[in-house]
Structure formats: C-alpha cells, structure tokens
Amino acid sequence: MTQIDDFFRSRLDQMIDLRKPLAVLATHIPWQELEASVAHRFARQVRTGKKVSDMDLFGPTVAVVGGGVSNAGRPRLPMRLMISLLYLKHTFNESDEGVCERWSETPVWQYFSGQEYFEDRLPCDPSAISRFRGLLGEEGVEELLVQTIMVGMKLGLIERRALETVIVDSTVQQKAVAYPTDSRLLEVAREQLAQAAKGHGILLKQTYAKEGGELERKAGRYAHAKQYRRMHKTIKRQRTVLGRLARDIARSKTVLAQSVQDALDPLLARAHRIAAQSRRKSGVKGKDRIYSWHAPEVECIGKGKAHTPYEFGVKVGIVTTLKGNLIVGARSFPGNPYDGHTLAEALEQATILMEATGVRPKTVYADLGYRGVDGEIPDYALKHRGKYKRLTPEERLLLKRRQAIEPVIGHLKSDHRMNRCHLKGQIGDALHAVLCAAGFNMKWLLRMIARKGIRPFFISSFLAWIRQRIQHLTRWGELPRQNWTPQSAGNPA
C-alpha cells in the first residue's frame, strides 16, 4: 500500500537544501543498524495475565487483565528521533531543553531526525531525553560513537591506516558543583537534613535556618578580608549547629519505621563526614573528603595548571587518531588514578570500538605521564619524549603531532559540553564523556563533508575500476609502466 502525501504541507526534502552537510550525513548514517544494536535495551517486560471475576448482563464471567492490555503508558517515541536528539545536543552544544526548542524551529534538524513534514512543536518533553540516555547505558552510547567512526570510513573521509596510530591523553571533566568551601558544605548539610526530617514527618526542636544563613555569610566576609581566626570561629559554630540537628534527628528516628531509618542513615553519615573534614587539625584528607552534597563522587584533581590549580570532577581518557584528529575512545576513570595506569583500559576501549572497522591501533603516542607502563600494553608500541634517542627520524617527526590532541580536548570542553557534567553519579560521568566524543565526531564529519564533499557512489566505483584495470594491464606488460591516470587511460599517447 503506497503512502499518500499530505496535500496541505510540503515535504522537508522539498523545503531544505539537500546539499547541506547535516542533510547529507542523515542519508549516510545506518539508522536501522544503530536502532537494532540498542533495541534490546528497550524491550518491555512480559506481564503474565491473571484471571479475575467480573459481572456482565448474563451473570458472572472470568476476565483476563494485565496480559492483553499494557499499563506501561503511551508507546515510545521513534528510536531514530531520540538518538538524533542526543547527536544534535552534543554536536551543537545545546541543553536538553535547548535542543528541543531548536529542533522545533529548524527544518534540517527535523530532516536529520527522520521526519517527513515540518512540525512546529517540541519533539518530546526534555525529561524524555534524560530517561532515554539512562536506558541506553554506557554500551549504548558507545555504539553511537562507533557509528560516527564507521561513517567516516565508509565516506572515505579518513584512511584505514590512519586508525593504526593513535594519541592518548587525559583531562578532567568537571562536575556541575559549586566551589567546595567548608562553610558552604556545612550549611548545605544543615539544609538537607532539615528538609529530610520535614519530609519524613520529624518535628525538630530547632532548624537553625536563620542562624545558618547568617553564619555562612559571615564566614564568606571574613575569608575575603583574610580574617581567618574569625572565619574558623564561625565555621566551628556551624559545625556545632549541624551536630545538634543531626543528634536531634537520630533521637527522633528511633520510633519511626525501619524504611525511614534506612533512608536517613546515609544522610546522617554524610553530614558527620562533612563536619569531621571541616576541623582544622584532625580533618579528613585525600580521597575520603566530600566536595559536594549532591555529588559525593566528585574528586579534587590537580593537573598543574596555573589558572586552575584544582578541578573538581572525574578524570577522562581521550584517544584520537594521530592524523585526522578523529576520536576513537573516551572513558572516565573514577578514583583519580595515575595517567599511566589508565592507558591499558583506554586502549582496550578504543580497540573494541574499532573492531567493526577491521583495524586496531598498533602505535600509541603519549606524553611523559604515560611512561613506564610498556609492560601493561605488550600488544602496542608506546612512543613518548622519554624515548627520544631510541626513536627513528620518522617517529620523531610524528611525535611532534602528539600535541594535536590538546585542541581536541579544548573543543570538547568549549563546543561539546565536556566543561560541565550535569548528569548524576559515576554512570552519568561515563555517559557524558562518550556523548561529548560522539558530538565532536559528528561536527568533524560535517566539517569534512563541507570541505571535501562526497562523490556519488557510481563515480567513485567507476574510478576505482579504472585504477584496477590500469594496474592489471601494467602488471602483465600490455601497457608501458608510467604514471597512469584515468585521464591518460582514456587518451593514450
């Protein structure tokens, strides 16, 4: 049965210029393969129907409920639409709300998402993007990154041998948290404990709301004036207030249900840790410190930068091709490990992602932070400045391109949202890193399509057949050995 076009609306392919890079890319991404690779993550659970008694005009009957009719809600949105929204979000540096608003105003974006007609409405609620991203998981978003690599190879925008030589470096993906001062953390802990007690129906003697706000402002003014003795005295009072509130909640929760106690225990433990680390002499140091109430997984990482000595987030390893600057791997590493100890896992991920291309990385160029780990990667040749005397002249020349990964990291942060991660937990950090890399590759594909263009398939096949024929004739001596071109083949001298 043929589909009848809408008489009152024009099709999107008649409204836009199909030569635009995004419209060209929409026809070359294997959407069906991509949907099939992640479809198993969205399979609904089978519900076994159960029989219940019912009454109709003819007496009691038995009806089956829960089997034929699903109570899971409305049908899901098209898979291609949701995947394309994730691509567009990180390609053009938009938020979940911003990408939905811009999608409703941009015909090319709607064509990229598989729409046939222009829709002057939001594609979905912005919260649907967050739920879809969570259901994809880390393996699902890695599949989105794999397809960007495959499209680059199929379109001839990057050579196969370029994937054999890669650059590895690490950076910090900062979390969307405020600067963690002791005064702020103590006040946030007090607010959260008071709010949790109110939510569970616990009547407190005093919440210290007015005094807590005044103490935080005092501590900030004393710190700005460099009156540190007064500042520490104010922080001590904040710690006292937090301890009183925590003890009041601990006494009141004993008469509540066990489920309420289990919900309050982690909050009280976190508040005690924040109070302990705010003490001057016996404070908590190292990895046990908490830098944010809502994101306790945040770590303090120092990369030796003059303008930002400390960054609060998670370490991320980036793997790019030496020539072409295409990202073939992005992975988060919780716990702030040494850079060299992340190399094996970063290369393992890049090898898995490049498995569909039939190529695997062989040579790795890195900085001095990765020296001394050759034994952990026996299948790869590690090159860095510490081995300069043992490198060949060609390898020394290629080593100068190691710095090419630095602007890639800069673009990831400034143009593709890696500068601030708003997703929750360690899984959110992992998803965000891979999606930022996929957005960078999408922008790379759009730029390369606009620069090089894409030749029609029959022209490229015809030229490839001519080259193969010339090589065959030259091999058997039917033509003189010289630099043949398709033009010279058509007009022999």
Q: State the total domains in the chain.
A: 3
- Is residue 87 included in any domain, yes or no? no
Expressed in angstroms, the distance from the first to the final Cα of the chain is: 57
Q: Give residue 467's domain range.
A: 457-490
| 208 and 314, same domain (yes or no) | no
| 426 and 359, same domain (yes or no) | yes
Check residue 479 and give its pLDDT. Answer: 45
Q: Report how far apart, in Å, the C-alpha atoms of 59 and of each of 52, 55, 63, 467 are.
A: 14, 6, 13, 83
- Is residue 343 included in any domain, yes or no? yes
| 195 and 166, same domain (yes or no) | no
| 470 and 426, same domain (yes or no) | no
Contact partners, residue 400, CB within 8 Å, separation at least 6: none
Cβ(404)–Cβ(320) under 8 Å?
yes
Structure tokens at 79: 């898979």
Check residue 306 and give its pLDDT. Answer: 87
Check residue 42 and give its pLDDT. Answer: 80
Give the length of the chain: 493
Q: Give the dihedral sign, CA 273/277/278/279.
A: positive
Is the pTM higher than 0.75? The answer reads yes
Quickly list H helices, 57-125.
79-91, 96-103, 107-112
| 239 and 381, same domain (yes or no) | no
Cβ(38)–Cβ(79) under 8 Å?
yes
Check residue 469 and give its pLDDT. Answer: 67
- Is residue 128 included in any domain, yes or no? no
pLDDT 10s per residue in the chain (493 long)? 445 667 678 889 889 999 999 999 999 999 999 999 998 888 765 455 555 555 555 566 555 544 455 555 677 889 999 999 999 999 999 999 999 999 999 999 999 999 999 999 999 999 999 999 999 999 999 999 999 999 999 999 999 999 999 999 999 999 999 999 999 999 999 999 999 999 999 999 999 999 999 999 999 999 999 999 999 999 999 999 999 999 999 999 888 889 899 999 999 999 999 999 998 776 667 778 999 999 999 999 998 888 889 999 999 999 999 999 999 999 999 999 999 999 999 999 999 999 999 999 999 999 999 999 999 999 999 999 999 999 999 999 999 999 999 999 999 999 999 999 999 999 999 999 999 999 999 999 999 999 887 654 445 555 565 766 676 666 555 444 444 444 444 444 3
Could you give the dihedral angle defined by the CA atoms of residues 389, 395, 398 and 402, in that order, rounded to the nearest 10 degrees? Answer: -50
- Is residue 106 included in any domain, yes or no? no
- List the CATH number of the domain containing 330: 3.30.420
Check residue 52 and give its pLDDT. Answer: 53
| 429 and 479, same domain (yes or no) | no
Place of tokens 């040494």: 338
Contact partners, residue 482, CB within 8 Å, separation at least 6: none
